[in-house]
Amino acid sequence: MDLPPVGLGTMGVADAGTIERAIDVGYRHLDTAQIYDNESVVGEGVAASDVAREELTVAAKLWVDSLAAEDVRPGTEASLERLGLDAVDLLYVHRPRGDYDPEATLPALDAVREAGLARHVGLSNFEPAQLDRAREVLDSPVAAHQVEFHPYYGDRELLADAQTHDYPLVAYSPLIGGDAFDDPVLTDVAEKHDTSPAAVSIAWALSHDNVVTIPKASSPAHLEANYAARRLTLDPEDIERIDAIDRERELFPE
């Protein structure tokens, strides 16, 4: 599955106008989830946009209480109703927790895809062994894997898996929950390139093969700045400096 380098993470977005503005800026990948409680907001923004539906990739995620085999299709249909769509382009298992059972959940997701309610099936927050098992059970290839990935945290084994099997690793929280703005290394590299630390953090993520990003933003200025970061190319020494940051912070641990 091809995904653009910078999409929009919508957690916390409560205004359909933000979605419409993002599409106007150029975003074509919109990521939401049942647990964000804003699928209707995303759907309203998509409906208000002048961009054709087929030009957009809308991704949704089933929460842990919608992963029992008998709940996958009703949960998907409920998300589609809130989104106002006939199908999503990418449907994730949000976390392999709660009612998740690979032998039951994943065939139900295959059935949802075969019924035309989702075009691709993705996974989110999986561990390597869980990815391997999912590949064994799913009829279709894993279309994408969404994980936390930023200069303070990133599982290199998961990155290697995405590169080996050639699917997008979708990096959420690429701005480190806002800490990117205050990091001295990111700030120094940003000054060198006459840009922002946020742009540097996004560009660092994109410097890895198979990685795409979904930074959150709501203001017009931040929407435009994050989207423009896809054009920033860091020098090898910049990447080395960022790789060497001696701080580990996982924002969303299990």
Active-site residues, by number, are: 36
What is the chain written as a DSSP string?
----SB-EE-TT---HHHHHHHHHHT--EEE--GGGT-HHHHHHHHHH-SS-GGG-EEEEEE-GGG-SHHHHHHHHHHHHHHHT-S-BSEEEES-S-TT--HHHHHHHHHHHHHTTSBS-EEEES--HHHHHHHHHH-SSPP--EEEE-BTTB--HHHHHHHHHHT--EEEE-TTGGGGGGG-HHHHHHHHHHTS-HHHHHHHHHHTSTTEEE--B--SHHHHHHHHHGGG----HHHHHHHHT------SS--
